[in-house]
Structure 1
Amino acid sequence: MNERIRHILNQISTLEDELRTALFEQEAKMRYRIEGKRVKFERAIKEAHQRLKLGILRWFLTVPPLNYLTAPIIYGMIIPLVFLDMTVTIYQLTCFPIYKIPKVRRSQFIIFDHQHLSYLNAIEKFHCLYCSYANGLMAYAREIIARTEQYFCPIKHASKLLHSHSRYAQFLDYGDATDFQTKLNQFRTELANERKKNKNTDS
């Protein structure tokens, strides 16, 4: 990796730290706190949210009729989503220990917290839970695949990717054949070290 790319990655890391700080400040501004897995708003904010909640009967009247026709298609997607969830989880549980790849923590990607929002009615909360699951699952599966790619083929594409996973920037340049096997082993060693670090953190 050349020095310019390393510098850019360091800048990205710095910006991510700034983003985390800004999000923390936003939490304080919205006057809520996180206690374990629960999100708690100040009483005045919660009461204001409850006043803004749209009743279920009124909510049904605001839904465009065509949305009812698409509902079975949207919610029918739960079948392939659950199947994907099971298969990628089984894959990493069985294969990652053999490859010495650190397991992806599902709970870091699939997060349910919209049910704590008082301005959402029961149906809106259900919609949010479904979307949180689907989007979180895609991120979870992507990280599993990203770690697999780092183990087997940490090489960038010739064409520029519009959106790449978090590990892609560290991969080898397309066509860089110099000491490929040595560099591949280095990537695998990094994964093994990451796995050891995670184990030490958990213990």
Structure 2
Amino acid sequence: MTIDIQRMQDMAHEIVRLQGELDREIESRRRALGVEITGRIVGFEHGVLDAQRQLKVSVLRFVARSDLVSIVIAPVIYSLIVPLVIVDIWVSAYQAICFRAYGIARVRRGDYIMFDRAHLGYLNRIEAMNCAFCSYANGLIGFVREVSSRTEQYWCPIKHALRVSDPLHRYYEFLEYGDADGYRSRLAEFRDRLREGEVADRVA
């Protein structure tokens, strides 16, 4: 049993290592395209932005090219902003109250919700608005997933018997389904990992 657990932990660490390697490859590709990132400030090398603007499609031309279905259902898509904002406010309040009470390190929204696509010169106003909407929606979902994942680790760090599609990284270190002794003896350990500072160290 110990060997199997160690092997799974090694595999999980290898996944994290490969993710870091993939991030470095993506960063290399960005540099090749003239993208410059300083901290959280995004910019472009001289002349790149002008070249992008030459590929911008005007709003009128963009609308004229759009099919009728896309135009008609646009209000339905954007109506999602209402429940999304409600979830955002509710989850932010939840972690502000509950995470503080239990000593769990709070999740930073800024690590998930970002609007850097606004710097792209080839997007017109409608495309930029679409990108902002998607950035908010998907970033918010990532933020909520991380909040719920830390909650799960605190209360129930147990793998499911059935296969989970695309679990977050910490799930792989959860206790095996049916490991009653492990749950009773190691629950405090899983909770300690969520303390302020511990989460940052493990992510880094």
Report whether the alignment pairs 1:81 with 2:84: yes
Partner of residue 29, structure 2: 26
Partner of residue 41, structure 1: 44
Report whether the alignment pairs 1:54 with 2:61: no
Give runs of ≥4 in structure 1 deviating > 4 Å: 197-200
Partner of residue 72, structure 1: 75
Letter of the aligned partner of 1:5 in structure 2? M
**For residues 72 and 58 of structure 1, do their structure 2 counterparts lie closer, same or farther at Cα, with a shift above 3 Å needed?**
same
TM-score by length of 1: 0.92
Letter of the aligned partner of 1:4 in structure 2? R
Alpha-carbon distance, 1:36 to partner:
4.6
Alpha-carbon distance, 1:166 to partner:
2.1
Letter of the aligned partner of 1:177 in structure 2? A
Report whether the alignment pairs 1:184 with 2:187: yes
Partner of residue 5, structure 1: 8
Query: Unaligned 5+ residue runs, structure 1?
Result: none
Identity percentage over the alignment? 39
Letter of the aligned partner of 1:158 in structure 2? A
Report whether the alignment pairs 1:167 with 2:170: yes
Whole-Å separation in 2 of the counterparts to 1:53 and 1:179: 58
- Residues 9, 172 of structure 2: 8 Å contact kept: no
TM-score by length of 2: 0.91
- Aligned residues, how many? 198
Alpha-carbon distance, 1:115 to partner:
0.6
- Residues 38, 116 of structure 1: 8 Å contact kept: no
Q: 1:33 aligns to what SS in structure 2?
A: strand
Whole-Å separation in 2 of the counterparts to 1:190 and 1:45: 44
Alpha-carbon distance, 1:157 to partner:
0.6
Whole-Å separation in 2 of the counterparts to 1:179 and 1:116: 49
CA deviations on 1:167-203 (whole Å, 9 max, x unpaired) are 11111111111142221111111112xx145799xxx
The CA RMSD measured in Å over matched residues stands at 1.7
**For 1:109, which of 112, 127, 144 is the aligned residue?**
112
Whole-Å separation in 1 of the counterparts to 2:85 and 2:28: 35
- Residues 31, 45 of structure 1: 8 Å contact kept: yes
Query: Unaligned 5+ residue runs, structure 2?
Result: none
Alpha-carbon distance, 1:119 to partner:
0.4
Whole-Å separation in 2 of the counterparts to 1:16 and 1:63: 37
CA deviations on 1:22-44 (whole Å, 9 max, x unpaired) are 12211211111023543211232
CA deviations on 1:90-117 (whole Å, 9 max, x unpaired) are 0000010111110000000001111100
**For 2:152, which of 125, 149, 152 is the aligned residue?**
149
